[in-house]
Structure 1
Amino acid sequence: MIESKMVESVAKQVNIQQDVRSFECVTTDSRKQAKHALFIPLVGDRFNGHHYLQAAIDSGATGSIWQEDEPIPTWLPADFQLYFVENSLVALQKLAQVYRDAVNPYVIGITGSNGKTTTKDIVFQLLGGEPYVHRTAGNLNNHIGLPLTLLSMPRDCKFAVVEMGMNHAGEISLLSKLARPDLGIVTNIGEAHIEHLGSREGIAKAKMEMLDGLKPNGALVMDGDEPLLESFQQQETISIGFGAAATETISDVKQTNEGYTFSFLGESFWHLPLLGKHNVKNAAYGMWIAQRLGVPDSLIKARLAQTAITGMRLERVEGPEGSIFINDAYNANPSSMKAAIETVKSMSGFHKRIAVLGDIYELGPDEEALHRSVAEAIDAPITDVICVGEKAFWIYDELKKQHGSVAIDYVEKVEDVAALIRPHLKHDTVVLLKASRRLALEQVLSAVKGGA
């Protein structure tokens, strides 16, 4: 619930005599049905939300932020409230800060090249979930999405677990200053967005902008196996990893086809029902935080065993004829693609291990070399590789040079993959689907299930 006094605090003036009112939610989408909503019309290069005020009113808005350089509609209802500002985006962000301070939850901010959403879901689960833990929905993790995430918090929220995404330097700094996290997590440093940041060193520096908004005496949890983060170590920094250099070490990691057991925080036999060794580290971030915040180990263990994450992230799905698909098609960069391949290689009980690998985007001028580097991870027990898309041809071409035992194929379009893998689908076959989001590689699974 957003009170009018909060909105007034970010406005220069109000269009009518202010009455006492509140808004049940904030929306930037005039099409979204939202009763008693505050509409915030954003302006971009190709759109102007002010033009859709009538639609917003029809959808339930009872007030709106309004840029002072925009004409006021002559048909405006007499009881409809306008709050005048210089810039509606800045007003959205400032309002989020005001509301964040009013609710005053313990904020956990998460960034990193891979694993943000999985770590968010794990932290959410370990802290007890709804109704007292609020988390980023979908991909609302940028300069618009994060303020909307904060503004959607329930007033009795105790914890807010928020993702912070980025494409360019300076963006995490802004998001951190908006959320003012009590605790930050940097999951890892990969190659995502290297096109804009130039190098992994540049990515590391951009991710560590999390420190810019971290509360005084706040703590930062980060990847203890990443040398690029060593220079950022400070008193309130905790590093978690598999190597001896980490502050908190994960050990005795054992994989099953359903997940992992491991030792951490002085206790053995933690069970995580997720694939991917990197998810053990993501879970460890959440476990350390939960323990720091007073959750008993017995409860952490019980909640960890029930962990569920957002789909298409090493998601195990049953396919035709008893086959298994590992649907990791939400997004990709070279390091996460290699990690997914290693996960499939380490799964037991499969005669056929098929990797369907697609284009990776936003890799910049080194995109060919980075695609070709994926071939380093491909050998037995992988039996078959199908590369799909224009950029994935580089993976295929590099594999051809190796003259290995792995059968390789190349297709240009996703819709051509199903016909290649369908004859191999049996009870002892596992298929990995991995590519950047734009390729929508999960369509392969729906195609083979539908018999297309």
Structure 2
Amino acid sequence: MNITTNWIHKHFPSARGVASETIEIRNVFTDTRKKTDKGLFVPIRGDRFDGHEFLKDAIEGGAVAALWDQSVEVPGFVPTDFPLFFVDDTIIGLQQLAHIYRKEINPKVIGVTGSNGKTTTKDFIAAVLAPSFETHKTSGNFNNHIGLPLTILSMPATTEVLVLEMGMNHFGEIENLSFIAEPDFAVITNIGESHIEFLGSREGIAQAKSEILAGLREGGTLLLDGDEPLLAPLHTREGVLSCGFDQKNKYVLSDIQMSGASTSFAINENESYTIHLLGKHNVKNASFAIKIGSLLGMDPSDIQKGLNEMTLTGMRFELIEGKNGAHIVNDAYNASPTSMRASIEVIKELNQYSRKILILGDIFELGAQSEEMHRSVAKAIDSSVDVLITVGDASSVIAEEVRSHHKDVDTYSFSSKEEAAALVQPMLQEGTIVLLKASRLMAFESFVEEFTE
């Protein structure tokens, strides 16, 4: 980080205290529960709280300066020399500060959005590029209108490549993030059903994800899921590269082989790579990283080295050793119908396991289409699955659908995770694999504790 109060003052001249002095800022923060060292506090106003009320905690916790909504009275306890920078809106002020800092450091910026796989793709891109470039990436789920600016402001001044995940719930949010970040490369991983409750349809989701183009720099490159018909209108734009399994794509993915916990594949039949993750969907996620590496001048051997060093953000198709030699796939970070079907397809292809158990939970934010979308998951389930267990009201229709079409699949519906865990415990043995998949609020990671030593 390369920020001082004097630097902030140049861009936010309305201030009090010793704002024009050169006081080092080592981090920017919004959460006063975490201690900091020489931090810039940004108080956020929410529906149920106002961060301005926690300025004292911020100062005691290590803040040396703060942004401040000019409509809020400054408390009497604030030292007269403490730098406050007055803005009309602290969130907008945070975003403006991040945009200025991004332009000053001027790394190559890669923005990643999509209904599913954006975190995995972000991790792939960072892993591939890190051996060749000083790389900084979104941590955890800091991918919204507050998290993305904080990620930008946390990058070291020596950063050469910045990889930013961009999430959203509503129209206009990705557009705003794109303007803040000004990406040189944009990635749309796919179009699923996440947030369809707010966006109305998959067409609406495609429109919202395409907003990433709003801030794309002149001459920038868009990489996208070339197998998705809803993204077809973007193919005619200059600088668009498509990745996918269909032969019409610029980069065609083929010869996919899964072995152990790895997947090997080819790109345009002349480049071969291996990733230490399972599944065709992860092959596509990796292909975006590989092609960005190529565009930045990396050779295939260095790209493969980066893939080998990939560290996956937690609860995304993690293969874990369970009790009695069983294996657990913890894919519980989140879910949509598309990602749930993709995970099921991977499990079905793992022929080294003699028993395959699916534990599926409710998918949220599907609105009026919830029942239809949950039923669509059942299309991926056939007699190659031994046991299906659903947990929750909404997901029970998956079980209902499977019972009516595949009577050879042992199917159960439970209202609680405890009931499901009790049923599965005796089934945990060598040759068994268990998939855990549900929306984040279902907290399916609790099964991992139950099913591991």
TM-score, structure 2 normalization: 0.97
In the alignment, is the contact (CA less than 8 A) between 1:118 and 1:310 conserved in 2? yes
1:108 Cα deviation from its structure 2 partner = 0.2
In the alignment, is the contact (CA less than 8 A) between 2:326 and 2:430 conserved in 1? yes
**Comparing 243-252 with 144-153, which one deviates more in the overlay?**
243-252
Opposite residue 125 of structure 2, the aligned amino acid is V
In structure 2, C-alpha distance between the alignment counterparts of 1:378 and 1:232, rounded to whole Å: 33
Q: Deviations over 1:297-333 (max 9, x none)?
A: 1111222233231121111000000001111111001
Opposite residue 185 of structure 1, the aligned amino acid is V
Q: What secondary structure sits across from 1:26 in the alignment?
A: strand
1:178 Cα deviation from its structure 2 partner = 0.3
Counterparts of residues 258-407 of structure 1 (less than 5 Å): 258-264=261-267, 267-407=270-410
Opposite residue 6 of structure 1, the aligned amino acid is W
Partner of 1:63: 65
Opposite residue 79 of structure 2, the aligned amino acid is P
Counterparts of residues 77-116 of structure 1 (less than 5 Å): 77-116=79-118
1:193 pairs with 2:179? no
In the alignment, is the contact (CA less than 8 A) between 1:126 and 1:286 conserved in 2? yes
Q: Deviations over 1:268-294 (max 9, x none)?
A: 431111012100011110000001101
Computed over aligned residues only, the root mean square deviation of the Cα atoms, in angstroms, reads 1.4
Partner of 1:27: 29
In the alignment, is the contact (CA less than 8 A) between 1:414 and 1:439 conserved in 2? no
Partner of 2:419: 416
Gaps of 5+ in 1: none
In structure 2, C-alpha distance between the alignment counterparts of 1:313 and 1:375, rounded to whole Å: 21
In the alignment, is the contact (CA less than 8 A) between 2:111 and 2:186 conserved in 1? yes
The partner residue of 1:446 within 446, 449, 453 is 449
In structure 1, C-alpha distance between the alignment counterparts of 2:267 and 2:233, rounded to whole Å: 24
The partner residue of 2:162 within 160, 163, 166 is 160
Q: Deviations over 1:27-66 (max 9, x none)?
A: 1111221111111111112111111001000110011111
1:381 Cα deviation from its structure 2 partner = 1.1
Q: What secondary structure sits across from 1:71 in the alignment?
A: coil
1:5 Cα deviation from its structure 2 partner = 3.6
In structure 1, C-alpha distance between the alignment counterparts of 2:451 and 2:58, rounded to whole Å: 42
1:10 Cα deviation from its structure 2 partner = 4.2
1:398 Cα deviation from its structure 2 partner = 1.5
Opposite residue 229 of structure 1, the aligned amino acid is L
1:177 Cα deviation from its structure 2 partner = 0.3
1:6 pairs with 2:7? yes
In structure 2, C-alpha distance between the alignment counterparts of 1:360 and 1:20, rounded to whole Å: 50
In structure 2, C-alpha distance between the alignment counterparts of 1:132 and 1:429, rounded to whole Å: 42
Opposite residue 108 of structure 2, the aligned amino acid is Y
In structure 2, C-alpha distance between the alignment counterparts of 1:356 and 1:198, rounded to whole Å: 28
Q: Deviations over 1:88-141 (max 9, x none)?
A: 111000000111111111000000000011001111110026981000001000
1:252 pairs with 2:255? yes
Opposite residue 248 of structure 1, the aligned amino acid is Y
**Comparing 45-54 with 70-79, which one deviates more in the overlay?**
70-79
In the alignment, is the contact (CA less than 8 A) between 1:265 and 1:288 conserved in 2? no
In the alignment, is the contact (CA less than 8 A) between 2:321 and 2:452 conserved in 1? no
In structure 2, C-alpha distance between the alignment counterparts of 1:432 and 1:236, rounded to whole Å: 38
The partner residue of 1:232 within 231, 234, 240 is 234
TM-score, structure 1 normalization: 0.97
Q: What secondary structure sits across from 1:147 in the alignment?
A: helix
**Comparing 137-146 with 262-271, which one deviates more in the overlay?**
262-271
In the alignment, is the contact (CA less than 8 A) between 1:360 and 1:371 conserved in 2? yes
In structure 2, C-alpha distance between the alignment counterparts of 1:155 and 1:33, rounded to whole Å: 23
Opposite residue 177 of structure 1, the aligned amino acid is F
Gaps of 5+ in 2: none
Partner of 2:433: 430
1:395 Cα deviation from its structure 2 partner = 1.0
In the alignment, is the contact (CA less than 8 A) between 1:379 and 1:404 conserved in 2? no
In the alignment, is the contact (CA less than 8 A) between 2:6 and 2:21 conserved in 1? no
1:74 Cα deviation from its structure 2 partner = 1.2
Q: What secondary structure sits across from 1:137 in the alignment?
A: coil
Partner of 2:222: 220
In structure 1, C-alpha distance between the alignment counterparts of 2:270 and 2:56, rounded to whole Å: 59
Opposite residue 43 of structure 1, the aligned amino acid is R
In the alignment, is the contact (CA less than 8 A) between 1:139 and 1:145 conserved in 2? yes
1:399 Cα deviation from its structure 2 partner = 1.8
Partner of 2:125: 123
| Distance change in 2, residues 1:131/1:51 (3 Å) | farther
In structure 2, C-alpha distance between the alignment counterparts of 1:140 and 1:64, rounded to whole Å: 21
1:401 Cα deviation from its structure 2 partner = 1.9
In structure 1, C-alpha distance between the alignment counterparts of 2:141 and 2:187, rounded to whole Å: 17
In structure 1, C-alpha distance between the alignment counterparts of 2:184 and 2:406, rounded to whole Å: 52
**Comparing 29-38 with 13-22, which one deviates more in the overlay?**
13-22
In structure 1, C-alpha distance between the alignment counterparts of 2:80 and 2:133, rounded to whole Å: 37
Number of paired residues?
A: 450
Q: What secondary structure sits across from 2:452 in the alignment?
A: helix
Residue identity (%) = 44
The partner residue of 2:77 within 70, 75, 78 is 75
**Comparing 392-401 with 382-391, which one deviates more in the overlay?**
392-401
| Distance change in 2, residues 1:129/1:47 (3 Å) | farther
In the alignment, is the contact (CA less than 8 A) between 2:383 and 2:406 conserved in 1? no
Partner of 2:47: 45
Q: What secondary structure sits across from 1:250 in the alignment?
A: strand
Q: Deviations over 1:390-432 (max 9, x none)?
A: 1111112222222521000111011222111111111110000
In structure 2, C-alpha distance between the alignment counterparts of 1:266 and 1:443, rounded to whole Å: 42
